[in-house]
Chains A and B, each alone.
Chain A
Amino acid sequence: MNEVQTTRRRFLAASLVFSSIAVAAETWLRGAAAWAGTRDPATLARFGRLLFPLDGLADAVYVQVMDRVLMSLVSMQPGDDVLMITEQSLNSQQAGNWFDLDAAAQIRAIENIQHEAHFAAVLSAVRDTFYNDPAVWAHMRYPGSSKEFGGYVQRGFDDINWLPEGRS
C-alpha cells in the first residue's frame, strides 16, 4: 500500500469505522484485484446497487465507481481474498449462483452473511469509494468543497422555509 492509501485507511478508522473493519478492508484490497478479473463491471455495478441503492442513480455511475475501485487495486499484492470468500459464502446460501438470482433472493442471501467479517470488509471498502465519489455526491445534491465559491454565507446556509412558525 502506498502512503496515500495507508492514510486513507486510517481516515476510515477515524471516520468512526471500528478499526477492526478498517484493517479487514486493507486485507480485502489486497485480494480484490484477483476477483476483479472474474467479473464484468456491469455485474459488479449490480452488486453496488444492492448495497447502496440510490434512487435514480444511473447504472453508468455504479459501473464507473465499481470499475474505479477495482482499477485502483490492480497494482496491489495478492493476499486473502475476502471478496472471493464473500462470493462463495453468498453462493452457499442457496442452490445456484448468487449472481443469477432475482434481487429479492440476492438480498436475502446478503442478509444471511451480513455479520461475517469478510462481508463487513467488502461493505466498508465499497462504502468508502462510493460515498466519496463526486458523481455520487452530485446525484445526492451535495456539491463538495465550497471554499472556491465563498462558502454558503450568501448561498443558502439559512434558507430553510418549511419550519412551523414560532414556538408552538
Chain B
Amino acid sequence: MSRRYAHDDASVVVVIGSGAGGGTLANELAQKGIDVVCLEAGKRLTLADIENHPPTMFARMGWLDRRIGPMVWNGKTVGGTTMFWSGITPRIQEHEFRALSTYGQLDAGTTLIDWPLTLAELEPYYDKAEDKMGVSGTHGIPASAETNNYKVLKAGAARVGYQEITSTRTAINPVARNGRPGCQQIGFCNSGCAIGAKWSTLYTEVPAAELTGHFELRTECMATRINHNKTGKVTGVVYVDAAGATHEQKARAVCVAGNTVETTRLLLNSESAMFPAGLGNSSGNVGRHYTRHTFGIALAVMPGEVNFHRGTRQSGIVLDEQYHKPERGFAGGYIIETLSIAPFDVSNIVGGWGQHNAAFMNNYTKLAGVFITGEDPPEAGNRISLHASEKDQHGLPVPVIAYRDHANTTAMREHALKMSKAIYDSLGASHFHGGDIPVGAHNMGVARMSKNADDGVTNRWGQAHDVPNLFVSDGSLFSTSAAANPTLTIVALAIRQADHIAERMQHQTL
C-alpha cells in the first residue's frame, strides 16, 4: 500500500514528475523494492473527472503557469502529458541513433550528435515498454480497429504506392488487457480517455507502484530546487506543497522528469557556488538543442462521409517516408499518422473566414486528416532559458522558449504535405489544406545524452555528466529527435535507467 516517508529519510530516490518518464521510472524502481518519493506539481484526477470536451480538460489538467515564447502543450496533473497524448508508439530506427554519422552536420547552426547508445541496446527495453503500454500489434495484442479516417488514409496511401501502412503501434487497448478495457471509440482522446483504454501513467504505473509498498506520491508538490553537498552530490529536493509550505525531501538520488521546459527550469534554478550556471550544466548545454519534431497537418474534403469524430484520433500510420533518402531534399524522414479534430480546431487550422473556411466547415463530416511527425535537427539557438526578471507564482523565474524551424524542417514539411495531398487527391478530394502547427507537443533534447561531456548534459544512462546521483528521466534526454513520436522511447529509457540505478545501488556506487 501507499507508504509515507519522513522528510529526513535520505534513503529514498526522489522522482520529479509522474508523466511518461517519471511515472514509469518510479514504478520500475518500486517494483525492485527501492523506496521512491514522487513529487508531482498537479492534482490527481479520477476517470470520472474526464469529460469529452477539450477546452474543459485543458483547463483541468493543462500546464497553465506563465511561459514566454511559442506554445508548449504539457500536462500538470498526475500522469502528466500522457493524459493528453494520442498513444502513437513507433520505435526509433537504427540509423536515427547515429544522426550525425548518417546525415552529417547540416550547416554551421545545427548541433547533431550520435546517441551514446544503439538500437540493439534499447531493443529489449522497447519490448518491455510495448508490453507495459499495450502497444497494438505487439506481444500478441491485435491491431487497432480501423476507423473510417484510417481506411481513407489506407486506400489513398496504397494508391500513391505506399506499402508500409499499418493500424498497429498505438498504446490504446484494442481489446481489454491488464485490467483496462478496450477502446470504445469515444473520440478526441486528447482530452483524456474516460475509460482508461489509452495508456496513461495515472491509472497504470502510479497505482502499480503504490501496490508495492515502496512508493509515495505527493500531489500538488512543485519541486523548486535540488540541493547538493560539498562533494557535488545531490542531497535533497526543496518543494512547495498545496498549502504553500516549503519542505525539503532528503534523497539518495534524484531523477528529474518534468518534461523539457520544467526540467530545464529546475536544473537552472538549482544553481549554486559550485554549479554557478545551474546543476548539471558545467558544459552550458542545459536547455539547449531543444527539438520538437517537424509537425504538419493535412485536412481534405472527401467525396463521401468520413465522420472522423467517430472514434479514436489514432488508428494507423504510414511508415514509407520514415527513412533517410537525401534525394528528397532533406535529411531524415517522417511518419504520416491519422488525425481527427473538433470543429473549432478545423476552422482554426484552415484559418481565414468566408467561403474559404466554409468549404471545410460545410463538409465537416466528409473530412479526412493526417498529422506529420518527422526528424527535427537540433540547433544551439533553439533553447529554453530563464527570464532575467519575470517571476511565476512561486517566485521562480519564468521560462523563455526560443524555437524556429530549420530549413530542413521546412523542406520536410513541404514534401510531407505534397504527399498527403496526393493521398487524398487519389481518392477524389475536392479541397485540401496543409500547414504547420506551431505547438510543442513532442519536446526533446534539453539535457541530452552524449558520449562526450562537452556535447550534452547526461551520459548513456541519463546520469548527469557532472553529478553522480542526479538523473534526467524524460524526453530531455534525446540526443536528437528522430522521426518517431517520443513517448515509447521515453518509457524504454526509463525502464533501462531503473535497471541501472538498481544495479548501482546493489554495488553501493549510488
Give B42-53 as 1s and 0s: 1 = Cβ < 8 Å from A's Cβ atoms: 000000001111
Give B174-199 as 1s and 0s: 1 = Cβ < 8 Å from A's Cβ atoms: 00000000011111000000100000
Interface stretch of the complex, out of B13-21, B92-100, B233-241, B352-360 = B352-360
A51–B346 Cα distance when bound, in Å, is 15
Cβ contacts under 8 Å, A155 to chain B = 310
Interface stretch of the complex, out of B140-148, B214-222, B464-472 = B140-148
B380 within 8 A of A: no
A137–B437 Cα distance when bound, in Å, is 23
Interface stretch of the complex, out of A32-40, A89-97, A126-134 = A126-134
A91–B307 Cα distance when bound, in Å, is 41
Which positions 395-437 of chain B face chain A at CB distance < 8 Å?
427, 437
A19 within 8 A of B: yes
- Is B310 within 8 A of A10, CB to CB? no
- Is B343 within 8 A of A131, CB to CB? yes
Q: How far is the CB of A101 from chain B (nearest CB, A)?
A: 15
Also in contact, A160 and B365, with CB within 8 A (given A7-B58, A15-B345, A110-B354)? no
Cβ contacts under 8 Å, A142 to chain B = 309, 342-343, 364-365
Which residue of chain B lies nearest to A13 when distances are taken between CB atoms in the complex?
A: B71
Give B308-334 as 1s and 0s: 1 = Cβ < 8 Å from A's Cβ atoms: 011110000000000000000000000
Q: Looking at the complex, which one of B50, B51, B159, B353 makes contact with A168 (CB distance below 8 Å)?
A: B159
Cβ contacts under 8 Å, A146 to chain B = 52, 186-187, 309-310
Which residue of chain B lies nearest to A111 when distances are taken between CB atoms in the complex?
A: B354
Cβ contacts under 8 Å, B309 to chain A = 142, 146
- Is A51 within 8 A of B354, CB to CB? yes
Cβ contacts under 8 Å, B393 to chain A = none
Which residue of chain B lies nearest to A127 when distances are taken between CB atoms in the complex?
A: B347
- Is A14 within 8 A of B58, CB to CB? yes
- Is A158 within 8 A of B59, CB to CB? no
Which residue of chain B lies nearest to A53 when distances are taken between CB atoms in the complex?
A: B358
Give A1-45 as 1s and 0s: 1 = Cβ < 8 Å from B's Cβ atoms: 000100110110111111100000000000000000000000000
Give A125-168 as 1s and 0s: 1 = Cβ < 8 Å from B's Cβ atoms: 00110011000110011101111001111011111111110011
Which residue of chain A lies nearest to B368 when distances are taken between CB atoms in the complex?
A: A160
B277 within 8 A of A: no
Cβ contacts under 8 Å, A159 to chain B = 148, 307
- Is A157 within 8 A of B145, CB to CB? yes
Q: How far is the CB of B187 from chain A (nearest CB, A)?
A: 6
- Is B353 within 8 A of A128, CB to CB? no
B510 within 8 A of A: no
Chain B: interface size category: 35 or more
Give A98-116 as 1s and 0s: 1 = Cβ < 8 Å from B's Cβ atoms: 0000000001001000100
Cβ contacts under 8 Å, A11 to chain B = 54-55, 58-59, 62
A50 within 8 A of B: yes
A123 within 8 A of B: yes
A168–B159 Cα distance when bound, in Å, is 6
A85 within 8 A of B: no
A54 within 8 A of B: yes
- Is B306 within 8 A of A160, CB to CB? yes
Cβ contacts under 8 Å, A151 to chain B = 183-187, 311
- Is A140 within 8 A of B361, CB to CB? yes
Which positions 40-87 of chain A face chain B at CB distance < 8 Å?
50-55
Also in contact, A128 and B344, with CB within 8 A (given A114-B353, A150-B184, A151-B186)? yes
Which positions 234-278 of chain B face chain A at CB distance < 8 Å?
none
Q: How far is the CB of A73 from chain B (nearest CB, A)?
A: 18
A141–B366 Cα distance when bound, in Å, is 11
- Is B344 within 8 A of A15, CB to CB? yes
Which residues of A are in contact with B by a Cβ distance under 8 Å?
A: 4, 7-8, 10-11, 13-19, 50-55, 107, 110, 114, 123, 127-128, 131-132, 136-137, 140-142, 144-147, 150-153, 155-164, 167-168
CB<8 Å pairs between A and B, sample of 20: A13-B71, A14-B71, A54-B358, A114-B353, A131-B344, A140-B343, A140-B361, A140-B364, A140-B365, A142-B364, A145-B52, A146-B309, A152-B184, A152-B310, A157-B307, A158-B151, A158-B311, A160-B148, A163-B151, A164-B427
Pairs A-B, 4 closest by C-beta atoms:
A162-B304, A157-B311, A151-B184, A145-B52
